[in-house]
Amino acid sequence: MNILSLKEATLHLHKKLILSKETVHIYEGEKIALVGRNGSGKSTLLKVLAQEIDVEDGMYIPKPGLSIAYLAQNPHSVPECSVKRFVENVLAESYLAFRAEELVFTLKLNPDQMLSQLSGGELRRAYIARTLLTPADLIILDEPTNHLDIIGIEWLETWIANSSQAFIIVAHDRKFLKNVTQRTLWLDRGTLRSAPVGFEGFEAWQETFLQEQIRIQSRLDVKLAQELRWLARGVTARRRRNEGRLSRLKALRTQKANFSKEPNKIGVPRQEGVGLTRQIMEGWDLGYQLPGGTVLFQGLNFRLLKGDRIGIIGPNGCGKSTLIRVLTKELEPSQGVLKTAATLNWSIFQQNQPIEELSYSVKRFLCAQGSDYVDVQGKQRHVVAYLKEFLFVPEQAQCMIRVLSGGERNRLRLAKLLAKSPDLLILDEPTNDLDIETLDFLKDFLLQYPGTIIIVSHDRDFLDDVVSSILVFESQGRVREFIGSFSDYLQAESEQHAFFKAPAKEVKAPAIKASSLISKRSTLLKKEKLSYHEVFLLENGLEEIQELVDKKNILEEALEVFQRETPLPLTASNRDHLATLSQALSLCLEQIQDKETLWLEVAEKAQRIDKNKEGTA
C-alpha cells in the first residue's frame, strides 16, 4: 500500500538544486536507505518528507491520516522535563509506559535525569527512544547510529527488522544499512533514483545502471555521458580499492603479529634503544580508576608500532575517551607504565568539535597565509586540487564555511588535520556525518598515511577496512589487544564476551499454513516412503504444536499482566522476572516454528507419495 508520494517535486536550498521535478513513492512497511554525497540535500529531502519544509513546485500526497515520526540530526529545542516524561509523552496508551522504561534502560539513560543535563550523545539517544516509540506509519531517521555504540547499533538493527512500520534512513554506517534496508533512494545533483535493492546490493546496481545510462546518453548528450562515465569510474574504482585495502591490511596484520612474537614480549620492559625506530608507544599493565573508586580499565598491555592502525572499541561509557587522554598524557594512569618515543608529535580529531571560523571561506580556512597553496605532508598542493580529494567541487573553495552541511564541515576539518602529517594521528569518531564516498576516500587515505593511527569508532565496516589490530574493552574493566579486524574478533572471541553479542531477533508466531512453506524443497521429499518417525510426526505433530501454542498464549497473558500491574520503576527482581518470561516466550515461539516447518514438510511429502501411488495405479 502506498502511504506517501512526492510527484514532480522541485526544491532549491541556498540557490542549490535539491530536487528537479522528482517523483517517489513510499510503501507500507518498507525499509529504505537514502544515500548521496554530503551537501546533496539528503537531510533537506527528509524534512520535506516529514513536512517540515514545503517543495516549491509539485505535490506532496500522504495517505489519509498518515502519521510520521522524524529523528533530525539536531533537535530544534530541548524541553525542560525528565527523560522518562519526554519519552512517555508520545505513547498512545498509558500501560505502554513499561515499554518506554525498558527502552530507556536499553539505551543507558537515567529516566529521572533532566534533558538539559544530558550530554550531546545522551540527548541524541533520548530522541531515538522517543522517535521509535511514536505510533507512526513512517519513521524517518537522520544518522541514527551517531552516538550509539556497537551494541546499541545491533539492537537498533533488531528493532527495525522486527517493526511493521516503514523506515527511511540516512546513515554513514555501511554495515547497518546493509543489515536493515530493502530499497535504496539515490539523490544525486537534483535527481532522485530508486534502486529495487537494499544497500547490500546498491553499488553493483549503481554500476550497472550508470553503464547503461552511458550507452543511452552517448548518442544524445556527450557532456552528460562524460559525467556518467566519471561517476561510473568512481564506483568501479571504489570496489577495486576495497579489494586492494584487504591485501594491504593482511600485510599489516601479518607484520603486527610477527612483531608481537619477537623477544621482549609485552609485560617485559624493553632495553633502551631497542626497536625505537619501529616502536613509538608501549604500555604495561595500564589502568585508570575514577576518584570514586570505579575502575574504567586495568591490565592493559600493548605496543604501538610505526604504521600501525589501531581501533578502540567498547560500549558507551566504558572509558575509551579516558584511555585516549591517558595515551596523550593529559591524564596520569592510576597504575602501570606508559612509554612513548621522545620526539613523538600527534594531532587529534574529536567528534562534535565546532569550527570557530564560520565567516572564513573554505580556501582561507586551509590556507591561513592567504596563498593558493596548502602544505600537505611537506609538499605544496594547490588548494582546489587538494579539496577535490575530499570531494569538494572547485566552486566551494570560495564558499563561506557557515553554508556547508555538517558532513562537509567534518570533511573540511579532516582535510586540514590530515595535511599536517603528525607521527601519531588520533581520530575520535571520524565517520559521523560523512557520506559513503567520503568514507571510502578516507579509508584509502588512512591506509596510505605514513604515520601511525588510533581510531575510536563504532562503525564496524570502517574498522574492518582500516585497522590492523584493535584494543577491545571487555567486561570488568579488562582491555586487551586483538590483532585483526572487528569481524575477526567477533568470529574468534564473541562467544566468550557478552559485550559484542548481537541480540537475538524476536520471532513472531506463524500461522499453521502450508502455503507459506510450499516453495521449500526438503530432502525428505526425495524419499519414496515415510519413515516410522515421520509417520509418528504426521499423526501426533499437530497435537504437540497445539500444546506449544497454548503455552505461548499463557506466557503472553502473563507478560501482559506483568506489564499492566508492575509499578515503575522496575526493581532488580522485576527485571529478572521480565527477562525470564521473555526468554521463555522466545524459546516457545522458536519451537512452534521448528515443529510447524517439519510437520508441513512431512505432510507435503506424504501428499506427493499419495499422488505417485494414484498415478501408478
Residue 338 covered by a domain: no
- The CATH number of residue 557's host domain is 1.10.287
Residue 304, classified by CB atoms within 10 Å of its CB into exposed (0-12), middle (13-18) or buried (19+), is buried
Residue 429 has pLDDT above 90, yes or no: no
pTM of the model: 0.68
**For 214-232, what is each residue's pLDDT tens digit?**
776 655 555 555 665 656 5
Residue 193 has pLDDT above 90, yes or no: yes
**For 63-102, what is each residue's pLDDT tens digit?**
999 999 999 987 777 888 999 899 888 876 665 677 788 7
Q: Which residue has the cell 592502525?
A: 309
Residue 238 has what pLDDT? Answer: 57
Q: Quote the CA–CA distance of 30 and 195 in Å, as a whole number.
A: 13
Q: Quote the CA–CA distance of 86 and 108 in Å, as a whole number.
A: 15
SS3 call for 20? strand
Residue 604 has pLDDT above 80, yes or no: no
Residue 523 has what pLDDT? Answer: 39
**For 347-362, what is each residue's pLDDT tens digit?**
898 876 777 777 889 9
Domain that residue 537 falls in: 532-615
Residue 269 covered by a domain: no
Residue 356 has what pLDDT? Answer: 72
Q: Which of 169, 202, 171, 144 is nearest to 31 (CA)?
A: 169
**Residue after which a domain boundary falls, among 182, 204, 226:** 204
Averaged over 585-589, what is the pLDDT? Answer: 75
Averaged over 364-374, what is the pLDDT? Answer: 85
Supply the DSSP symbol for 292: T
SS3 call for 233? helix
Q: Which of 172-181, 391-400, 412-421, 555-564 has the highest mean pLDDT?
A: 172-181
DSSP sequence for 477-530 = GBEEEEES-HHHHHHHHTTT-GGGPPPPPP-PPPP--GGGGTT---GGGGSSS-
Query: What is the end-to-end Cα distance of the chain in Å, rounded?
Result: 48
Q: What is the CA radius of gyration of the chain?
A: 28
Q: Which of 478, 473, 488, 496 is nearest to 256 (CA)?
A: 488
- The CATH number of residue 143's host domain is 3.40.50.300
Residue 184 has what pLDDT? Answer: 96
Residue 283 has pLDDT above 50, yes or no: yes
Residue 296 covered by a domain: no
Tally the domains of the chain. Answer: 3
Residue 510 has pLDDT above 50, yes or no: no
pLDDT band at residue 614 using 50, 70 and 90 as cut-offs = low
Helices (H) and strands (E) in the chain, counts: 17, 20
Residue 191 has what pLDDT? Answer: 92
Residue 117 covered by a domain: no
Q: Quote the CA–CA distance of 241 and 33 in Å, as a whole number.
A: 23
**Residue after which a domain boundary falls, among 204, 222, 248:** 204
Averaged over 383-396, what is the pLDDT? Answer: 86
**For 11-45, what is each residue's pLDDT tens digit?**
998 788 999 999 999 999 999 999 988 778 999 99
pLDDT band at residue 525 using 50, 70 and 90 as cut-offs = very low
Lowest pLDDT segment from 42-56, 95-109, 295-309, 329-343: 95-109
Residue 383 contacts residue 397 (beta carbons within 8 Å) = yes
Q: Which of 162, 208, 174, 170 is nearest to 186 (CA)?
A: 170
Supply the DSSP symbol for 570: P
Residue 369 has pLDDT above 60, yes or no: yes
Residue 63 covered by a domain: yes
Residue 347 covered by a domain: no
Averaged over 253-274, what is the pLDDT? Answer: 49
Q: Measured on CA atoms in the order 291, 292, 294, 296, is the torsion positive or negative? A: negative
**Residue after which a domain boundary falls, among 204, 239, 255:** 204
Residue 48 covered by a domain: yes
pLDDT band at residue 200 using 50, 70 and 90 as cut-offs = very high
Averaged over 457-480, what is the pLDDT? Answer: 87
Residue 271 has pLDDT above 50, yes or no: no
Element (H, E) at 41: none
Residue 220 has what pLDDT? Answer: 55
pLDDT band at residue 201 using 50, 70 and 90 as cut-offs = very high
Residue 165 contacts residue 136 (beta carbons within 8 Å) = yes
Residue 74 covered by a domain: no
Residue 568 has what pLDDT? Answer: 59
Q: Quote the CA–CA distance of 42 and 5 in Å, as a whole number.
A: 17
Averaged over 394-422, what is the pLDDT? Answer: 85
pLDDT band at residue 61 using 50, 70 and 90 as cut-offs = very high
Query: What is the per-residue burial (b if ≥16 Cβ within 10 Å, else e) of 47-81?
Result: bbbbeeeebeebeeebeeeeebbbbbbeeeeeeee
Q: Which of 595, 598, 590, 592 is nearest to 520 (CA)?
A: 598
Q: Which of 604, 599, 592 is nearest to 540 (CA)?
A: 599
Q: Is the domain of 27 the same as that of 172?
A: yes
